[in-house]
C-alpha cells in the first residue's frame, strides 16, 4: 500500500512517519508543510469507551496540495485500486481531479465522503457513507422503500457505479444499477467503533484489487 498525505514539520509528523516506516509493504509519501500542524485527535476514554474526541488541526497550504497531486499522478499507474478517504480536513482539495485521473486510468476509486456537498465525488466508482452521513446529504426517511429510492437517486445523480451505505446495527446496503444488496450484521459486543468505516473501505479495496466481485467483497 502507498499512503499519500500531508503532515506538519513537527513532532507528531515525525512520529507518524516513523510508525509508517516500521510497517512492511507500506510506502509513506508524506509531504511536510511548514505552515501546517499535523492533525492530532485527542480521545477521552472512560471504562474502555470513547466519550468524546477533540481535533487539533489547521488547513494545508495550496502549494503543498498541488505537489501532492503531482505525486498522485506518478503513483496512479502503479495502483490496482484507489482509496480517497475524506476527513474534511482540507487534504483532498483536488479530489475531483483525482477521481477524474483514476477513472481515465481505469482504476477503481473508492471514496469515504464527508460533509453535505457530494458533487465533488461525481464519477467515483463507489461512495461509502455511513447512515448519518447519508442522511445529511439525502434527507431522512421513514421506510426501507423510501431509503432505497433516496440511495438510488443519489447514485444516479452522481454517476456512481455503486453506493454502499453502512448502517451500523442494520448492516450494509449496496446499490448498483438494477440491483440492491443488503448485508446484515453478525451481533458482537463492541466497546469502541472508531475506525469502522475505514475498515470497511480498506477491506473492500483489498478484495477488489484481488479480483473479487463487489457482492463478494461486501
What is the set of active-site residues?
198
Q: How far is CA 188 from the centre of its chain?
A: 24
Three-point CA angle 169, 172, 177, nearest 5°: 155
Cell of residue 103, nine digits? 477513472
Using the structure block, give the residue that is written with the C-alpha cell 496512479.
76
Rounded CA gap, 63 and 81, in Å? 26
Rounded CA gap, 109 and 117, in Å? 18
DSSP character string of 118-179: -GGGTT-SEE--BHHHHHHHH---SSHHHHHHHHHHHHHHTT-SEEEEE-GGG-EEEEETTE
Amino acid at each position: 500500500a502507498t499512503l499519500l498525505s500531508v503532515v506538519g514539520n513537527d513532532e507528531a509528523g515525525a512520529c507518524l512517519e516513523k510508525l509508517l516506516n516500521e510497517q512492511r509493504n507500506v510506502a509513506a509519501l508524506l509531504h511536510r508543510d511548514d505552515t501546517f500542524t499535523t492533525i492530532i485527535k485527542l480521545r477521552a476514554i472512560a471504562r474502555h469507551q470513547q466519550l468524546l474526541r477533540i481535533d487539533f488541526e489547521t488547513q494545508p497550504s495550496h502549494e503543498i496540495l498541488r505537489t501532492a497531486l503531482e505525486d498522485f499522478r506518478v503513483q496512479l499507474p502503479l495502483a490496482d485500486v484507489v482509496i480517497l478517504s475524506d476527513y474534511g480536513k482540507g487534504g483532498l482539495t483536488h479530489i475531483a481531479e483525482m477521481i477524474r485521473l483514476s477513472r481515465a486510468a481505469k482504476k477503481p476509486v473508492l471514496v469515504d465522503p464527508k460533509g453535505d456537498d457530494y458533487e465533488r465525488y461525481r464519477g467515483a466508482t463507489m461512495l461509502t457513507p455511513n447512515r448519518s452521513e447519508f442522511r445529511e446529504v439525502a434527507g431522512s426517511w421513514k421506510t426501507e422503500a423510501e431509503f432505497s429510492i433516496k440511495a438510488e437517486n443519489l447514485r444516479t445523480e452522481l454517476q456512481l457505479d455503486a453506493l454502499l451505505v453502512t448502517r451500523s446495527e442494520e448492516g450494509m446496503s449496496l446499490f448498483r444499477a438494477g440491483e440492491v444488496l443488503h448485508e446484515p450484521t453478525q451481533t458482537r459486543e463492541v466497546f469502541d467503533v472508531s475506525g469502522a468505516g475505514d475498515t470497511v473501505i480498506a477491506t473492500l479495496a483489498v478484495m477488489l484489487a484481488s479480483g473479487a466481485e463487489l457482492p463478494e467483497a461486501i
